[in-house]
Amino acid sequence: MDQETKRLMDEGKVLPLMEEFYTIQGEGYHSGKAAYFIRIGGCDIGCGWCDVKESWDADSHPPTRVNTIVKNAKKHSNTVVITGGEPLMWSMDYLTKNLKQEGLNTYIETSGAYSISGVWDWFCLSPKKRKPPLDEAYKEANELKMIIYNKSDFKFAEKHADKVNDNCELFLQPEWSKKEKMTELIVEYVMKNPKWKISLQTHKYLNIP
């Protein structure tokens, strides 16, 4: 990477773009809504069950000017979801400033392990065991989405639910490869603990991105 590109990336004016696409939000509180997804490369958390491991290496994704990303986004939807990888490894200030100037709603999906940058209309926090969220992420969260891979993850979910703000929406989502077994347990758990809701990866059932 040349020095000029590195400078622009440090300023958040260039980002390692893995992919961008218009689809239906498949998970969590906004499931079923049309949205434009921007997937940023780079993640050092390394969840074993991650279904986009190709996003981890930021260097494998082309440095793309944010102005180009914004121009593409505004053609499709008034809602933009920034995901990864882990998008908060990079400064989101310039991206969200320009998206907001175009009148777009800004949503983020993050582990919360990095300092918050950017201005967000919806902040989805999905904590991971290998690198826990910073305290500021719990305060910001509109939605807590916990991935349930095994029975011990229920206790892990409750640990994080105790830290978010009182207005945060709480979701339990079965890890896709364990969905048959864990969905049944999640249904039982939510019925006993109705503060939680169930999130399913409906985009996978619909066979869309």
pLDDT digits (tens, 9 = 90+) for 120-172: 999 999 999 999 999 999 999 999 999 999 999 999 999 999 999 999 999 99
- pLDDT, position 49: 82
Order the strands of the 34-40 sheet from edge to edge.
63-65, 14-24, 34-40, 79-83, 105-110, 122-125, 143-148, 169-174, 196-198
Residue 1 has pLDDT above 80, yes or no: no
User: Which residue segment(s) compose the domain that 23 sits in?
Assistant: 3-205
pLDDT digits (tens, 9 = 90+) for 14-34: 999 999 999 999 999 999 999
Residue 100 has pLDDT above 80, yes or no: yes
DSSP 134: P
- The whole-model pTM stands at 0.95
**The domain that contains 19 carries what CATH number?**
3.20.20.70
Q: How far is residue 140's CA from residue 143's CA, in Å, rounded to a whole number?
A: 9
Provide the greatest CA pair distance for the chain.
Answer: 56
What's the domain count of the chain? 1
Cβ atoms < 10 Å from Cβ of 61:
19
Split at pLDDT 50, 70, 90, the class of 48 is confident
- pLDDT, position 29: 98
